[in-house]
Amino acid sequence: MKCAYCGKKNKDGALYCKRCGIGLPAPKPGDPEGGPAPARPAETAPAENSAENGEKYDWTVPDDASSNGKKRRKELVLIPILAAAALIIALVIWLAAASRGEILPPRSGCTDLGSALAYGGQIVAPEGESIASSSHSVDGRTFAVITESGKLYSCVKGEFSLIANYVESCVCSANGKRIIYADENGLLWKSECTEPESAPVCICNLPVSPDYVVSPDGESVLYNLSGEKTLRLFSGKKETVVSEGHSPIAVSNGARYIFSYSASDNALYRLDKRGRATFLRSNLAGEIWLNSTHNELVFCTDSGDGKFITMICVNGSDPVTIANTSAPLSPVMTVRGMISKADVSGTEVVTCPYKSFEGRFFAGAGLARYSRNGSELIEPNDCAYAAAADNYSAVFYITNGSLQRISSKSGAEPEKLCEAESFLMSSNGAKIWYVSPGGELVYRSGSAERVVAPGVDLYSVNPSNGAVIFTYSGGLYRNSEGRANRTFAFDSAEALLTSADSRGLYALTGEGWQAFTSGGSRTDLTK
């Protein structure tokens, strides 16, 4: 079927143009071009790659899998190894279950407050310096911090180490092992976080554009030279020219998958190391989301008919649709799951802790669940906010003024919990704080509810110990377990913002960010 807008020939039965994303006319009955696409087996990839490289990717077989013949020849040798591996795998599975199976901010990690960091319930900063910007690993253990004076520090467990002076920008790799930064002259450097005493190494001695990206393992860097659109890749201690006219978006571990943006056609591309480009989609809209190894990419395209198509590209395969809605969808994150954001080529690119988006929910203008065997739009109405329990057993969201809960482990329908304007919850989903339609701050545990305050302006929740910090009538308060006699007032503090993590409660006052884990005078706002 040929697109009337851009002329691209699409597969028979396609609903949207592969090149420009415009909706295609519905096929007429009996139209030989209008028959539905044949169903694909559930165990294979939804589509092939471009014929330019002739590769296919299987959803179920690792890229480096051996042939069956080799496996049979090695079977006798592998038996004792596999037996030992089985015990290790069982231990890993048990540990994963015990830790709720997600990569979460550890207690030894820092919390990003924007203009400050928190660690162990206290505000931390380089001595005598104020923080201008930062980048961090997705587990929160490693931060790269640039101060107002242009000094670059690494921060691990609340301890700062000076890396360099006169720094303009930086990127901390998703695994926290390497920091890539540009100095005041635009030269690109790398610093090893695992070897803090080692000197930084220059990887590009010409000025680069600020839009450089780093692979999750920190081994590959994708960038343009300043004022140019020649895409370059530094990987394996050498630089390679990848393509012309493209800007960086993301690069995976091992630089196997390279994603780029072309401003000339507002399009997203996948590249290989030899520069061969595969068109993905144009008319991009919203954020771009990446999994923890950057081999899965979620993005949205404007179809031009009032719909936005949220799509996913896995292992370089052709993109498949997650949902068509009135606005882009974003993956639902766990309460304590951290994400790392960067502004790349005018697009916000987000790295999240998930190893795969398989089985995840996506929310925004509706609620959808992605599966390689076929995604499902569960809630067609707008979801104002959505969050998942740390083990992803349940997802909570607000639609049409009501708080809903849906199990991710069963096919049960969503359950309405209460009327709510907004909510926050504990990491296991057992405790919920929400604002009622009347403006009350309410604590909910199971089916029991307690009113904490008659009205709130701001509130933040500690995901571990059942504490909340909030503002009411210009005052700052904290509460524990929703009990009226466990509310404490900080009369002299007027907060502009509030925040919380598993160690403490924080508020931004006229004196900067402060910790309010304890103290205050006991009060009861419900009387």
For residue 44, what pLDDT band results from cuts at 50, 70 and 90?
A: very low
**Predicted local distance difference test score (pLDDT) of residue 96:** 34
**What pLDDT is attached to residue 143?**
94
> What is the rounded average pLDDT of the residues 67-77?
37
Are the beta carbons of 300 and 368 closer than 8 angstroms?
Answer: no
Task: Select the more confidently predicted residue: 525 or 336.
Answer: 525
Least confident of 43-57, 175-189, 251-265, 390-404: 43-57
Question: Within 13 Å and on the Cβ side, how many CA atoms surround 370?
Answer: 26
Structural contact between residues 34 and 46, judged by C-beta atoms closer than 8 angstroms = no
Higher pLDDT, 466 or 461: 461
Q: What's the pLDDT score for residue 461?
A: 92
SS3 content of the chain, % helix, strand, coil (to 5): 5, 45, 50
Confidence at residue 313, expressed as pLDDT on a 0 to 100 scale: 94
Q: Which of 73-77, 251-255, 501-505 has the lowest mean pLDDT?
A: 73-77
Structure tokens, 490? 């900080």
Mean pLDDT of the chain: 81
Q: pLDDT value at position 264?
A: 85
Report pLDDT for 236. Answer: 82
Q: Say if CB 291 and CB 352 are below 8 A apart.
A: yes
Roughly how many angstroms between the first and final C-alpha of the chain, as a whole number? 69
pLDDT for residue 338: 84
Angle 499-297-284 (CA atoms, 0-180°, nearest 5)? 90
Q: How far, in Å, CA of 284 to CA of 263, rounded?
A: 11
Per-residue pLDDT, 19: 52
- Separation CA 34–CA 491 (nearest Å): 69
pLDDT tens-place string over residues 192-210: 987 767 889 999 999 999 9
At 450 the pLDDT is: 94
Query: What's the pLDDT score for residue 26?
Result: 54
> Are 329 and 363 within 8 A, CB to CB?
yes
Tell me the β-bridge partners of 181: 170, 189
Q: How confident is the model at residue 142 (pLDDT cuts 50, 70, 90)?
A: very high
What are 333's two structure tokens? 């994150």
Q: How confident is the model at residue 459 (pLDDT cuts 50, 70, 90)?
A: very high
Average pLDDT of the segment spanning 420-430: 92
Q: What percent of the chain has pLDDT over 90?
A: 55
Top pLDDT among 80 and 277 is at 277
pLDDT reported for residue 88 = 37
Q: Which residue reads 């030279």 in tokens?
A: 225
Q: What is the mean pLDDT of residues 167-192?
A: 94
| Residue of 443, 359, 406 lying closest to 59 (CA atoms) | 359
**Of 363, 277, 286, 292, the residue nearest 103 (C-alpha):** 292
130-155 per-residue burial string, b: 16 or more CB within 10 A, e: under 16: ebeebbbbbbbbbbbbbbeeebbbbb
Query: pLDDT tens digits for 89-128?
Result: 333 333 333 333 344 556 678 998 888 999 999 999 998 8
d(CA 417, CA 182): 50
Q: What is the DSSP letter of 218?
A: S
What is the reported pLDDT for 195? 79
Q: Kindly tell me the sign of the dihedral angle through the C-alpha atoms of 454, 458, 463, 465.
A: negative
Q: Would you state the pLDDT for residue 1?
A: 66
In 3-state terms, what secondary structure has residue 488? strand
User: Which tens digit of pLDDT belongs to each residue from 476-509?
Assistant: 999 998 998 899 999 767 889 999 988 899 999 9
Highest-confidence range of 106-110, 235-239, 289-293, by mean pLDDT?
289-293
Over residues 403-431, the mean pLDDT reads 91
Measured CA to CA, the distance from residue 481 to residue 465 in angstroms comes to 8
The predicted structure's pLDDT at residue 468 = 94
* Amino acid residing at 43: E
Q: Is the pLDDT reported for residue 457 higher than 60?
A: yes
**Using CA atoms, how far apart are residues 249 and 351, in angstroms rounded to an integer?**
11
